[in-house]
């Protein structure tokens, strides 16, 4: 509504455009639906036999598609099975974790089919003259493991505990020393000679949750990340909401109550002070649980502690529901994951008690590193979109 410039309605052109559209449509289907025969493609696109053949010839000669096999069993000749060429493009994923000590970096290289070719996890010192170079070095090392020349990486997706502002070319709200350096991303781009995209770690976790976790098939959901810090990712039917300055989901700053009100904790003006890692540890201590790690505290805590924690989670959940009305709220981060079914159930109860707002609460279903998985998915998606677009542009005019 409002904006009418959805490109579909405005597209205009001649026969060349048609060829471009058909080629990219076939590529898109091959990318999303896996290996397909000619007749599969014909059914999906509605194109005729000669056109389908012609388009596939184009894709094969552009090294974007290959014949992976033949059907058998049915009557008639065996149909060729086409798939995208796994070696048609590669993407790298890079997740920088904030651990208190040296930053940990997880890296992976995947091919166009989504198969992980190599994966590393290592400590990388970023508090150096050129933090970008340290990341590039780590990336080169993974490429060596994958048996790939670094310049074959078409796109790198970087996950960071902060938000990237493209206008200032700096990563904000980040505690990792060196990572907030202005110009880091553009230096990365120059050094790698490829596109680099930066995303918030919680947003990436939400992407992984939609792809591999409990949010599969959800229309819209919010992911509440509880760890040392707090975060919220908002997924609207597969599109992440990032906000005007990339600051959407910074719910740690959410105010609690009117100024001057006496809240349960003294000096608890915002959600961060009652729900982030330190607050969880402090709450656990109040209930006689001694632990320095918030996730360990949650695992060790009893029912009373969990109920108290759930009340705080419910505050966050209720606010999100009041503003966005997602159908699902996923609890994630080390605390969310450690809470498991117990925290989920307690939060559901607390949310119901707090008012008429309704939403399903779930615990994250991603067991592997969610940020790295999300970075892989997002990077792969970006590469695929680029390929589809490039096919369209090659044939235009």
Partner DNA sequence: CCAATAGTCAGACAGGTTGCCTAATCGATA
Partner DNA sequence: TATCGATTAGGCAACCTGTCTGACTATTGG
Contacting positions for DNA (CB under 7 A): 13-16, 18-19, 22, 37-39, 46-51, 53-55, 71-80, 395
Minimum separation from the CB atom of position 70 to DNA (A): 7
Q: Which does 181 bind (CB under 5 to 8 A by kind): a second copy, DNA, none?
A: none
Q: Which does 239 bind (CB under 5 to 8 A by kind): a second copy, DNA, none?
A: a second copy
Cα distance between residue 317 and residue 329, in whole Å = 7
Q: 3-class SS at 235?
A: strand
Give the Cα-Cα-Cα angle 164, 166, 168 (nearest 5 degrees): 95
Minimum separation from the CB atom of position 30 to DNA (A): 14
Q: Is 326 exposed, middle or buried (0-12, 13-18, 19+ CB in 10 A)?
A: buried
Residue located via tokens 């606010």 = 319
237: alpha, beta or left? (left if phi > 0; alpha if psi -120 to 50): left
Q: Which does 326 bind (CB under 5 to 8 A by kind): a second copy, DNA, none?
A: a second copy
Q: 3-class SS at 12?
A: coil
Minimum separation from the CB atom of position 11 to DNA (A): 11
Q: What is the DSSP letter of 270?
A: B
Cα distance between residue 95 and residue 99, in whole Å = 12
Residue 104 token pair: 């940990």
Minimum separation from the CB atom of position 364 to a second copy (A): 17
Other C-beta atoms within 10 Å of 217: how many? 6
Minimum separation from the CB atom of position 326 to DNA (A): 41
Residue 245 token pair: 């300055």
Residue 347 token pair: 């939060």
Minimum separation from the CB atom of position 27 to DNA (A): 13
Which of 75/356 has CB closer to a second copy? 356
Q: 3-class SS at 117?
A: strand
Minimum separation from the CB atom of position 5 to DNA (A): 20
Q: Which does 19 bind (CB under 5 to 8 A by kind): a second copy, DNA, none?
A: DNA
Minimum separation from the CB atom of position 340 to a second copy (A): 23
Residue located via tokens 């770690």 = 201
Which of 78/99 has CB closer to DNA? 78
Which of 22/348 has CB closer to a second copy? 22
Q: What is the DSSP letter of 66?
A: E
The answer to whether the beta carbons of residues 155 and 194 sit under 8 Å apart is: yes
Q: Which does 126 bind (CB under 5 to 8 A by kind): a second copy, DNA, none?
A: none
Q: Which does 72 bind (CB under 5 to 8 A by kind): a second copy, DNA, none?
A: DNA
Q: Which does 261 bind (CB under 5 to 8 A by kind): a second copy, DNA, none?
A: a second copy
Which of 138/284 has CB closer to a second copy? 284
Q: 3-class SS at 166?
A: coil
Which of 134/315 has CB closer to a second copy? 315
Which of 118/324 has CB closer to a second copy? 324
Minimum separation from the CB atom of position 316 to a second copy (A): 10
Q: Is the dihedral of CA 260, 261, 265, 270 positive or negative?
A: negative
Q: What is the DSSP letter of 122?
A: E
Which of 41/132 has CB closer to DNA? 41
Q: Which helix (H) or strand (E) holds 311?
A: helix 303-324
Q: What are phi and psi of 257, to 5 degrees?
A: 75, 170
Q: Which does 16 bind (CB under 5 to 8 A by kind): DNA, a second copy, none?
A: DNA
Residue located via tokens 């890296």 = 107
Which of 86/269 has CB closer to a second copy? 269
Q: Which does 1 bind (CB under 5 to 8 A by kind): a second copy, DNA, none?
A: a second copy
Which of 23/136 has CB closer to a second copy? 23
Q: 3-class SS at 121?
A: strand
């Amino acid at each position: 509504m409002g904006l009418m410039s959805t490109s579909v309605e405005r597209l205009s052109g001649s026969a060349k455009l048609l060829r471009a559209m058909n080629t990219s449509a076939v590529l898109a289907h091959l990318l999303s639906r896996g290996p397909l025969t000619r007749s599969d493609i014909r059914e999906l696109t509605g194109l005729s036999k000669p056109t389908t053949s012609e388009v596939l010839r184009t894709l094969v000669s552009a090294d974007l598609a290959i014949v992976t096999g033949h059907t058998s069993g049915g009557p008639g000749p065996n149909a060729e099975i086409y798939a995208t060429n796994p070696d048609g493009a590669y993407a790298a994923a890079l997740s920088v974790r904030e651990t208190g000590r040296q930053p940990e970096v997880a890296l992976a290289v995947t091919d166009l089919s989504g198969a992980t070719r190599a994966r590393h996890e290592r400590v990388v010192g970023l508090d150096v003259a050129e933090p970008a170079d340290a990341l590039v070095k780590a990336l080169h090392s993974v490429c060596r493991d994958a048996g790939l020349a670094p310049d074959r990486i078409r796109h790198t997706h970087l996950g960071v505990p902060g938000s990237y502002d493209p206008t200032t070319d700096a990563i904000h709200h980040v505690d990792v020393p060196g990572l907030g350096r202005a110009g880091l991303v553009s230096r990365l781009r120059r050094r790698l000679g490829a596109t680099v995209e930066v995303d918030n770690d919680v947003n990436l976790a939400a992407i992984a949750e939609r792809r591999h976790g409990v949010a599969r098939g959800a229309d819209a959901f919010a992911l509440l990340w509880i760890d040392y810090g707090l975060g919220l990712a908002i997924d609207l039917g597969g599109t992440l909401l990032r906000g005007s300055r990339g600051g959407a989901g910074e719910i740690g700053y959410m105010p609690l109550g009117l100024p001057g009100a006496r809240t349960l904790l003294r000096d608890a003006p915002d959600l961060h002070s009652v729900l982030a890692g330190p607050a969880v540890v402090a709450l656990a201590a109040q209930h006689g649980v001694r632990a320095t790690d918030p996730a360990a505290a949650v695992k060790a805590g009893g029912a009373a502690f969990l109920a108290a924690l759930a009340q705080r989670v419910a505050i966050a959940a209720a606010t999100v529901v009041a503003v966005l009305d997602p159908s699902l709220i996923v609890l994630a981060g080390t605390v969310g994951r450690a809470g498991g079914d117990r925290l989920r159930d307690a939060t559901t109860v607390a949310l119901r008690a707090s008012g008429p707002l309704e939403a399903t609460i779930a615990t994250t279903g991603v067991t592997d590193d969610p940020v790295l998985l999300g970075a892989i998915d997002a990077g792969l998606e970006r590469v695929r979109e680029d390929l589809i677009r490039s096919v369209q542009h090659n044939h235009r005019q």
